[in-house]
Amino acid sequence: MRQILALAIKVAVSIALLFLALRKVDFSAIVERIDLTTLWWLIFAVVAVVSQVFFGAVRWREIAQVCGAPLTVWQAFRLNMIAAFFNQALPSSIGGDATRVWFVGRSGVGWRAAGYSVLIDRAIGLTVLAFLVVASLPWSLRLIADPQGRIALLLVDAAAIGGGASFLLLGTLRWRWLARWQIVRHAQACSEIAGQLMVSRVHVLPLIVLSLLVNVLNAVIAWAVVRSIGAGGSFAQIFLLIPPVMLVTTLPISIAGWGLREATMALAFGYAALRPEDGVSASLLFGVVNFVAGALGGLIWILNPKPAETGISEEVTADRLPDQI
């Protein structure tokens, strides 16, 4: 009952945010902008989404190997594409992450190793995104002249950095009372592995580079859809605006980010002295190209219902995981 209620609330939030974001959008003007050039930009955006999924898969494979869930690049890519499909129907990225855990866990490596690899992959990706937003602050604050926009950006940055730092710090705590809760013990184990990965000479550079590529491609996708409707905004402006929007969209309060992304994009464009309506239109197309890429993932799932067969039969325990780094 609680799950049904939570899903109903998220659907309601998505609808409400979409209504607020779309009430001033002139859809006829958007349709008039669509031509052959527009379609080529959108096709380019879909290719960029698939490329983003690939780089994310390479990062996840790097982490999964350490967690005792060995995957080939092709297996990780197929699973990430399938996860992109499930992300279109469930809140935030939770559906896709659960899908990855399910397929890897039932392949023989064990649910713990599968769950750890996905959680650490998500945590490292968000932490690098948060630091990217902070690193770009000198230019972002110059771009956003509105005082309220600057305050909102700083609050988002502070929350993201605080969350990432808290997760990494959790693995260093040795308070006995924390071990009373099983979920905390697992979170600590994941935090410990993530911390060791981020200081490992072998793993840290590939993980950071791959995470940056994923986030740069978010900006490329957004810029492509902006170009497709002939909206204003240079690539530099879009690159500065998109990371904070992506941080906000990760909040699991709407379905696949719909509504929340549109409202946030409208605010971001407005704060940067761009047309908020263009931000909403670009966000809608951003969602469409991700939906198309997700549909390709659905096709992969239909054609290959068991994409993570690894042939491993032994489960990896949490005690062994950090020793493999």
Q: pLDDT tens digits, residue range 254-264?
A: 666 777 788 88
In a domain, 194, yes or no: yes
Sequence-ordered list of residues with C-beta below 8 angstroms from that of 83, at least 6 positions apart, any chain: 93, 95, 96, 97, 99, 100, 297
* Statement: residue 2 has pLDDT above 60: yes
% of the chain residues with pLDDT over 70: 78
In a domain, 98, yes or no: yes
In a domain, 101, yes or no: yes
Predicted confidence at residue 89, as pLDDT, reads 63
Taking residues 282-294, report their average pLDDT. Answer: 88
In a domain, 56, yes or no: yes
Instruction: Give per-residue pLDDT as tens, 188-211.
Output: 889 999 988 988 888 999 999 999
In a domain, 191, yes or no: yes
Domain range for residue 116? 36-215+287-307+317-324
Highest mean pLDDT among 93-97, 258-262, 264-268: 264-268
* Distance (Å, whole) CA 106 – CA 110: 7
In a domain, 226, yes or no: no
* Distance (Å, whole) CA 247 – CA 59: 19
* Number of C-beta neighbours around residue 270 at 10 A: 17
Crossing angle between the packed helical segments 260-271 and 276-303, to the nearest 10 degrees: 140
Distances (CA, A) of 101 to 21, 34, 104, 109, 184: 34, 39, 5, 11, 19
> What does pTM read for this prediction?
0.82
Grade residue 315 by pLDDT with cuts at 50, 70 and 90: very low
Q: How many domains does the chain have?
A: 1
Grade residue 59 by pLDDT with cuts at 50, 70 and 90: very high
Grade residue 77 by pLDDT with cuts at 50, 70 and 90: very high
* Statement: residue 71 has pLDDT above 80: yes
155 or 232: whose pLDDT is higher?
Answer: 155
In a domain, 13, yes or no: no
* Number of C-beta neighbours around residue 82 at 10 A: 28
Predicted confidence at residue 61, as pLDDT, reads 95
Distances (CA, A) of 107 to 101, 118, 167, 300: 10, 15, 28, 17
